[in-house]
């Protein structure tokens, strides 16, 4: 059980925008292809990668700011460049468990897309580059895709109580998938959604 440090004074952390590392860092989580096995379209390639020893896709770092009143948190995510089959490296994607919780995403390095989709299927894919900031409203699932040649790094700002719900994205994905075609990133309908 992690110790919760309550601090009602200002707190400053330093971000390395090239790696997503920030000091101090409270918690680090890595996600490999095996953790995203159900997210990628090309299941045969997923099986091959996992049987050959797996592959790192992204690293998440969290810093919660606990106060006696309300608790915001910072997260950074560093998505390595690469693909699984034709599909670019991406985050799992999730809804917030609480339906009243928005989030701000700020891209500090790299290029790609932020996909957002409501439960009813209202879908948006926003092109992303260093400096792009997006406000994700409550009840929109969110996923970032790295379509560039460098590590994509973004900062997330959210409330500690927001929580994560992965089930619906695991079951159906987003409306479109983003793949490399003819050397370019293109959006195509998600085969799992067109049945
Ligand atoms: C959050 C943020 C963000 C996200 C990571 C990893 O709500 O905590 O959206 O920190 O969790 O970018 O993405 P997945 O949680 O979808 O793997
Ligand atoms: Ni989130």
93-106 burial by CB neighbour count: b if 16+ within 10 A, else e?
bbbbeeeebebebb
Domains of the chain: 15-194 (2.60.120.10)
pLDDT score for 82: 98
Q: Give which of 15, 4, 150, 127 is closest to 66, Cα–Cα.
A: 4
pLDDT score for 4: 86
CB 33 within 8 A of CB 57: yes
Mutation probe of ligand 1 site: the residue of 35, 37, 94 with most atoms within 8 A of C-beta? 94
pLDDT under 70: residue ranges of the chain: 1-2, 195
pLDDT score for 1: 59
**For residue 51, how far is its CA from the centre of ligand 2 (angstroms)?**
30
Q: Is the CB of 61 under 6 A from ligand 1?
A: no
Q: CA 117, 121, 126, 132: dihedral to nearest 10 degrees?
A: -30
């Amino acid at each position: 059980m992690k110790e919760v440090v309550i601090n009602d004074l200002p707190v400053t952390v330093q971000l390395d925008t090239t790696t997503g590392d920030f000091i101090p860092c409270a918690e680090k989580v890595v996600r490999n292809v095996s953790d995203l096995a159900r997210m990628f379209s090309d299941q045969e390639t997923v099986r091959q990668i996992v049987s050959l020893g797996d592959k790192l896709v992204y690293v998440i770092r969290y810093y919660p700011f606990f106060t006696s009143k309300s608790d915001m948190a910072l997260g950074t995510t560093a998505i390595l460049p690469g693909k699984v089959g034709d599909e670019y490296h991406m985050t799992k994607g999730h809804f917030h468990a609480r339906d009243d919780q928005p989030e701000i995403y700020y891209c500090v390095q790299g290029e790609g897309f932020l996909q957002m989709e409501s439960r009813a299927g209202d879908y948006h894919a926003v092109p992303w580059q260093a400096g792009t900031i997006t406000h994700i409203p409550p009840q929109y699932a969110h996923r970032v895709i790295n379509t560039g040649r460098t590590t994509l790094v973004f900062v997330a700002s959210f409330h500690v109580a927001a929580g994560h719900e992965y089930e619906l994205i695991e079951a159906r994905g987003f409306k479109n998938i983003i793949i490399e075609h003819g050397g370019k990133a293109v959006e195509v309908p998600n085969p799992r959604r067109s049945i």
